[in-house]
A and B are shown apart, each in its own frame.
Chain A
């Protein structure tokens, strides 16, 4: 057993696995990683099973002291800074942490989320068979707090795999994202639909695991404020009465009565969440068939990367 103690944890730093699927009908979104591709790459470094947990690190940063044992770890996602003691490294690398050393992960030149995985079994609480943390309730693995101990069972060290992991171009922030209109685009004027397709929008600081509010042209819905509540997905672009768009993310509410003007293609969400507040983003509208083609191309690229890397 390798024991780590949280010396410092910023907000929104949680345990996550691949997600808690199939519970939307009970009001429970999948949660899981904000950047699912970076998470998958991180787990593949040690051939961890899909249900394995990782620590998702936000711009708040995390410091861990190794108080017993040693373990090889990988940090994947975003352009974060990784420090072991005085050694300054980057994300997208594999290293080994030894007893008495402090690991610090903090924001670097780009990105909002990174994943810390261990060669070993990260022990976390579970809820409904998953350690994915549902942010608002704290159910699942939970949010990391200063002073807390983190245990890695069957921790191993792999000097042979230490070093850099290639960061593929598609893991970078994505300022142009594909979206399919609907399911309630009929409640918006042609001007609003045109603005969505042509104007830049900007990320705001209203950004957490539930969703990300955008600043940009007002997309005021026309006579749609009393539609019956209906299901929401990760990627739904929901517009409230004030005309501001919110892109729903990992911990989204499962139903809601605000109209959704469009829905972001899933393949673009990983790169979208690596944009930072005040970054510009543009929507490129595509047909459902084109969206499926994008999903399949993204899946092929991820599989090809994982096959090559392992």
Chain B
């Protein structure tokens, strides 16, 4: 059942479930898409997450009841999300600081960890934590680990990190308690004002393996 939760004076949280599921997320994306095509009066922005969509509005122009009515009308029509894009992301697994520890904890060889990671079918569920941190679900079951007890500070951009059922590509120098298993030359924070963030929520990501030499050839340092 869909719930519409009013927040403060300026938002409605539309909730499609309580646990992470493909069905709930598909509904989030469909409503997000419908709202972008047909925004309510006073619409400011929508933020998709795992099971809910936050709709922020200007309380001087509209209120929770009007926004909820608009969202219900959108939901009553068949919601068809856009076809998501698929991105190919190269990963260099050489000299990754946590690959050996991930192998030890999962009981796999490092080659098996790499094969499992490459075999995942990843999809961006939401952005969070820091600009451009795209949470990708789809990490294969054998690689699921709790995060480290203590975060590591100063982890650079372009690292492939995993924790729980999630994988993400770091975009800034930030602390993280996730496991660093590789590096990529792909920049999610593109630096291009026309498309500042590479992925849209809902996009699919495939990883492919590159060598240290191939990585070095494709790596462009951030300006």
Contacts and interface: CB of A to CB of B under 8 A. Distances in A.
B59 interface: yes
B54 A230 contact: yes
Contacts of B129: 27, 253-255
A50 interface: no
A192 interface: no
A230 B52 contact: yes
Contacts of B193: 128-129
B13 A231 contact: yes
Contacts of A24: 45, 47, 54, 56
B44 A22 contact: yes
Interface string A220-237: 000000011111010100
A86 B172 CA distance: 43
B51 A180 contact: no
Closest 4 pairs (CB-CB, A-B): A255-B128, A291-B9, A231-B54, A27-B127
Given A26-B197, A263-B7, A289-B64, A139 B131 contact: yes
Contacts of A253: 128-130
The CB with the most chain B CB atoms within 10 A, among A23, A254, A266, is that of A254
A294 B9 contact: yes
A129 B194 CA distance: 11
Contacts, number: 133
Contacts of A299: 60
B37 interface: no
Interface of B: 5-11, 13, 18-20, 44-52, 54, 56, 59-60, 63-65, 126-135, 172, 174, 193, 196-197, 201
Interface in A104-131: 128-129
Given A180-B8, A291-B8, A256 B128 contact: yes
Contact of B45 (A22, A267, A288): A22
Given A180-B7, A296-B59, 15 more contacts: A21-B45, A23-B45, A25-B47, A25-B48, A27-B128, A27-B133, A136-B130, A136-B174, A137-B130, A228-B18, A228-B49, A230-B13, A264-B8, A288-B6, A288-B64
Nearest to B128: A255
Contact of A230 (B49, B60, B133): B49
Interface string A280-310: 0000000011011011100100000000000
A40 interface: no
Interface string A232-252: 010100000000000000000
24 contacts: A23-B131, A24-B47, A24-B56, A25-B201, A26-B197, A27-B129, A27-B130, A27-B131, A180-B8, A182-B5, A183-B5, A228-B50, A229-B126, A230-B13, A231-B47, A233-B11, A253-B128, A253-B129, A255-B126, A265-B9, A288-B8, A288-B63, A292-B64, A295-B60
B127 A26 contact: yes
A26 B44 contact: no
Given A263-B7, A265-B9, A25 B45 contact: yes
Contacts of A26: 127, 131-132, 196-197
A263 B196 CA distance: 30
Contacts of B63: 288-289, 292
A28 interface: yes
Contacts of A128: 193, 196
